[in-house]
Structures are given as structure tokens and as C-alpha cells.
Structure 1
Amino acid sequence: MKIVKVGTRRSGLAKTQTMQLINELEKRNPDVKFETVEIVTKGDQIVNVQLSKVGGKGLFVKEIEEALKNGEIDMAVHSLKDVPSELPPGFELAAVPVREDMRDAFLSNNKVAFKDLPSGSIVGTSSLRRSAQLKELRDDITVNWVRGNIDTRIKKMESGEYDAIILAAAGLKRMGWSDTIVTEYFDPVEFIPAIAQGALGVEIREGDIEMRNILSTIHDDETSTTTSAERAFLKRMDGSCQVPIGGYAEYVDGELYLTGLIMNEEGTEKFLVRKSADDPIELGNLVADEMEKIGAKEIIDRINENK
């Protein structure tokens, strides 16, 4: 029996979503045994600093890619939103399984809706994208950053440190939290999610045909296409955790659409572009072209210079 070593971050959510993916792989590949290898990444070690201040997305994948390169693992399971839009040489994304819920979930004490939060309420998030959109919608609330796993963040809210928090719906659902804990889900067309939010990406060594064949059994074409459009937009805009940037691609009546978002950190400048095209990479670039035309790139350049 072939043994495949699967790399995962050590966090509870990462291990849970990796095991869920392995269960699907085992159903489709009964002659393969999958073993998990837990890897602590730099992003997991830095828990008391906002990610945008210490380097952003690559913090959750670098050590895992090292293990992949060295042959310690055969495949790596990532939250696709943590994967930089351009992979280093020697790696490839071999599979993108069916996407979980891509929406942002709003949780509040006493189930108070976002629009009904009292002025001066404190909302917790670790995302510049969420923070900017919250500030644009309500300039009378305070947005404070919060790190930690889902349980930790919820406890901080329930203890009164925050009046509300925002979490990815996908993480809550994968960890088995009931819908009853969520006050409301934000509409992804109105509150733009992170690029590839809710999707997983499975990374392998470039050219590993055997692993590619095994992983083809869980690959989802629609998720791959929509997230490819989002990631193409991110790549062109040179976006990172240091920039409030989001994107949401979807099929509407058989047509592929992408809505791109770029904002300043204060939530006072907002650029929103929606386009349609057949090819996901072309679509990502089309939205990026329009963003550059209307001046959104200036926000990114300014933020990157200041950082």
C-alpha cells in the first residue's frame, strides 16, 4: 500500500480541515494510506502581533514548503487564502476541492445585528480588509484587532472584551460550530470576502504526476476557476495582508463574474470593480486593469511604501 505523508499546520482548524480532506481522498483512493505530519509555521508562533505587521500570508506556508521540498511530506493542505498568489519555483497547486462557505460571519453578544450595534461598540478582527469595510459602513464603531483560534476569539467576545467579532464562515462550519452562534452572515457581494476565502489548496512538488493523479479525485473545476480569477487579480494588484483587498468570483447564469475590492486602511477610500469574462486569468487581469485606470493602485503603492 502506498503511504502519502500530508503536511498541515498544527492549529485545530488546519488539522480538522486536513482530516476532512483525507477522509474524502481515502474514499476515492482505497489503496493509499495517508499520514499527517504537523508543522509549526512562523505565523502560528506569532500570536500577539497583527499579521500585516510581520509579513502577511507567506508566514503560514514557508515551513510547510520546506518540508515538501525536502521530501518530508508528499503534499501540503493549505487554506488557499493563506497561499501567496505566486508559488515559489518547484511547487504547484495540484487540487482545489469544493469550496466551503466564503462569507464573513458576524458574531455579537446578545445577537445584536451589525446595523443595530450601539455607537462606540468594539468589533474584533485580525483582517485589514474586514476592518476597512466595517469602518466604511459604520464610522461610529471601534475596530480592534484580535488574534487566536476560533474558541479564543469567541471567549474574548463573551467576556466583554469585544461587543462583536467577525470570523470566516468556513472555519466555523469546518469546526462544527452551529449556525446558532452566528448573528448574521454578510452578503459576499456587499461585504467582499478575502481572495479564495473558504477554499483549500493542495500543494505538491512540481511535476509529481503520481500525486497529481491521486489529488485529481477531489479537485473541483468550478472552485478552481473562481479562485483562479480571484488570485489572478491579487497577483496583478500586488496585494497582500498589508493591503485591504478582496475578491469574489461567481457564476451567474453560466457567466463568470469577478468583483474586486481595494480600500485604504481607514475605510474612507473604496474602489469596487465587477467584470465578466470566460477565462479566469483574463478576468482577474481585466478587473486589475480597471482598478489601475481608476486609481486604486495608488492606494497599494502608498501602503507598501509606508510599510
Structure 2
Amino acid sequence: MQNKTLRIATRKSPLALEQTKYVQKKILSLYPDLNIKLVPIVTHGDNILNKSLSKIGGKGLFIKELERALLENKADIAIHSMKDLPVNITKELCLVSICKRGNPLDTLISNNYRSINQLPKGAIIGTSSLRRQCQLITYRPDLIVTPLRGNVETRIAKLDQGQYDAIILATEGLNRLSLKHRITQIIPAELSLPSCGQGAIGIQSRIHDKKVLFFLSHLNHINTFIEINAERAFCRKLESGCQIPIGSYAILKKNKIWLRGLIGSPNGKIILRGERIGWYDTGEKMGYSLADELLRNGAKNILNNLNIKQSYCI
């Protein structure tokens, strides 16, 4: 790729740009003579901030414009937070690489309380995630969970203005924005199981662009790829249109994968959980198997009810 230009599509949010700079640095470490051009894009999801994601079509709204840039040859690759990338990718595109995962867990930020357990009854908690809402309400039904949209800095500003007693964000996003000092509590997975792919950055490209696929495949972190492949298999089996409360989290250690998954109702009244442990090369099968188990145990009813209620989603 020497003396060539690589065009990178990215969202314009501060976090997305930081993630893109991280990938850019990785690419230049392999190909120092490569010319890189950023193609910043404002997505539909970035423009609609007064509605919850579940009501406007889910996380895919952050992806469509970036994928269009690839399909229209306005960019060569696109950088995504893996938790935002739909499990079913447009057929002309593919996931080239997944970079080494950072911290996948959720974080509580509060100016007055040190943990979820210390929050008083009736405390107002801000989150844009049905997954976080579902688990939090199950654990602390006495709390009030309200929608919170905007980039990371905007959400923290709303907390500092006193609109919320606490907010929940992704830990790795705070780390990348040098906001680690704002973390009050890193929430254990037992209390808030992460979103599929949370904490990792994915690189997407056109499936027939063999040169890009070959060179950028060197950025793939194999352990992270194996973990997230298992998580995405679980979600792929359960995914049903708009955003629904689903969590999946895999840990690869000594060639064994520990996969946990959950699906619940947005009001937290129902949460189904399960787990699998198996060899590293069975992650995808484990994901499908675990999803099948939850479907048999009631997940199908949850999905059917959500589909009826959310049939208006775009």
C-alpha cells in the first residue's frame, strides 16, 4: 500500500474520532508511507437526540451512512464501535479486523454516590440503553431510569447540571477520551452484562477489495475476534428488528471460552440468562446453542411481544 491513500469513514463524534485515530496509528505502524484521509460523517443517529434509540430504529442508525460511503466508493474502510455494528452486515461489505478489546464493562458516574448500592431510593439514572435499563431495574426496582442521549461529553454535562443522580456509560469510551477520572464504579458483569462487542473497535470494508482486506487483516486481534464472534452468534440468533435488551459477553482464557448471554423485557420484569463453556473453536456454535436454550425458555415470547409493540420502528 506504499504511496497510496487510504480513505477512512468515521462518525464525527469525539469518541468516534479518537477511535479512528487509534486505528490510524495502528495502520501507520505497519505502513508508515501510507497517506490516510479521514472522511467524517454525521449519521442519522447523531442528528436525532430527542428520542430513544429503540424508538428510531436502534444502533444501526449510526452505521448506515458509513456503509453507504463504502458502497459508493467514497471511502475504503469504515471504523465502528463493535457494539454498534449490526450482527448481519450488508452483503457487499465485510468485517476486515477487530482490534484488541479494551474494557468491555459498563461504568457508573455520579457526583454524590460511590456505587449503585449507595444510590438512594428514587434516584434518577440516565442511560440510552435498554440492556442497561433492563438489568438496573431488575437489581434496583426503586430507581428511576430515564433516557439519556448525546455524545459522552454531553451526557456528563447533563449529570453535572443536576439532571441526573447518576449515569451509565461504557468504560472504554471514557478511557479513550481521557475521562477515566470521572468513573465512579466499574459495574461487574454479574450486575450489568455488557453489550455484544462492547469495548472493541471494528474495521469494515468492501468484500471484493482484496488488497485492503489483505493488508488490514494484520490488525485483527485473534483472541478478541474469537470472543466477539461467539457474542455476535448469540445475538444473531436472537436479533429481531429494533433494539432489544440483549447482552452477551465472552472471555477466552487458556483456549476455553466462557460465554454468558441474556435477554429481557425493557421493564426488567423478565430476564433470561444462560452460559456456555467450550473450546475456542466452538464459540459460534456455543452462541447459537445458548440462544436456542433461551428461546426455548421464554425468549421467543419476549421477542414476539417486542416486535408487536415496535412494529412502527424505522
TM over 0.5: yes
Partner SS for 1:112: coil
Q: Is the 8 A contact 1:242 1:303 kept in 2?
A: no
Q: Does 1:56 align with 2:32?
A: no
Aligned-partner Cα distance in 2 for 1:239–1:275: 22
- Distance in 2, Cα, partners of 1:232 & 1:42: 27
Is 2:232 the partner of 1:226?
no
The amino acid of 2:306's aligned partner reads I
2:305 aligned with 1:305, yes or no? no
**Match of 2:75?**
73
Aligned residues: 306
**What is the deviation of 1:88?**
1.2
Map of 2:32 onto structure 1: 30
Residue 227 of structure 1, CA deviation: 0.6
Residue type of the alignment partner of 1:44: D
The 3-state SS of whatever aligns with 1:249 is strand
Within the alignment, does 1:192 sit opposite 2:193 as a pair? yes
- What's the counterpart of residue 140 of structure 1? 142
Please report how far the alpha carbon of residue 62 of structure 1 lies from its aligned counterpart in structure 2 after TM superposition. 0.8
Unaligned runs of 5+ in 2: none
Moved over 6 A (4+): none
CA contact (8 A) 2:125 2:144 kept: yes
The secondary structure found in structure 1 opposite 2:229 is helix
- From the superposition, tell whether residues 240 and 130 of structure 1 become closer, same or farther in structure 2 (CA, over 3 Å): farther
Residue aligned with 2:244, SS: coil
Partner of 1:130: 132
Q: 1:207: Cα distance to partner?
A: 2.4
User: 1:115 corresponds to which letter in structure 2?
Assistant: N
Partner of 1:280 in structure 2? Answer: 283
C-alpha RMSD over aligned residues: 1.2
8 Å Cα contact 1:128-1:241 kept in structure 2? no
**Correspondence for 1:12:** 14
Partner residue in 1 for 2:5? 3
Report if aligned partners of 1:5, 1:36 keep a CA contact under 8 Å in 2: yes
Are the equivalent residues in 1 in contact too, given 2:135–2:191 (CA < 8 A)? no
Q: CA deviation at 1:170?
A: 1.0
Whether 2:295 is the aligned partner of 1:292: answer: yes
| TM-score with structure 1 setting the length | 0.97
Give the partner amino acid of 1:112: R
How far off is 1:142 after superposition?
0.3
Contact 2:139 2:191 in 1 (8 A): no
- Does structure 2 conserve the Cα–Cα contact (< 8 Å) formed by 1:50 and 1:145? yes
- The sequence identity of aligned pairs, in percent, is 38
Partner of 1:155: 157
1:168: how far off? 0.2
Describe the superposition over 1:211-265 as per-residue Cα deviations: whole angstroms up to 9, x where unpaired.
Answer: 1122122110011111111111111012565311100001244311210011111
Q: For 1:287, give the aligned amino acid.
A: L
SS at match of 1:277: strand
Q: State the shift of 1:127 in Å.
A: 0.4
Name whichever of 73-82 and 104-113 sits farther off: 104-113
Give the partner amino acid of 1:62: K
> SS state of the match for residue 112, structure 2?
helix
Matches of 1:231 and 1:173, distance apart in 2: 24
The residue matched to 2:46 in structure 1 has which SS? helix
- In the superposition, relative to structure 1, how do residues 168 and 240 fare at CA in structure 2: closer, same or farther (>3 Å)? farther
Match of 1:204 in 2: 205
Which residue is equivalent to 1:262?
263
Match of 2:238 in 1: 237
Instruction: Report the more deviating stretch, 245-254 or 126-135.
Output: 245-254
Shift of 1:112: 3.0
1:47 aligns with 2:24: no
Please give the alpha-carbon distance, in whole angstroms, between the structure 2 residues aligned to 1:228 and 1:189. 21
Unaligned 5+ runs, structure 1:
none
Q: Distance in 2 between matches of 1:298 and 1:200?
A: 33
What amino acid is the match of 2:294? M
Decide whether aligned partners of structure 1 residues 16 and 32 sit closer, same or farther in structure 2, where only a CA change above 3 A counts: same
Tell me which of 158, 176, 179 is aligned to 2:178. 176
Distance in 1 separating the partners of 2:207 and 2:61: 21
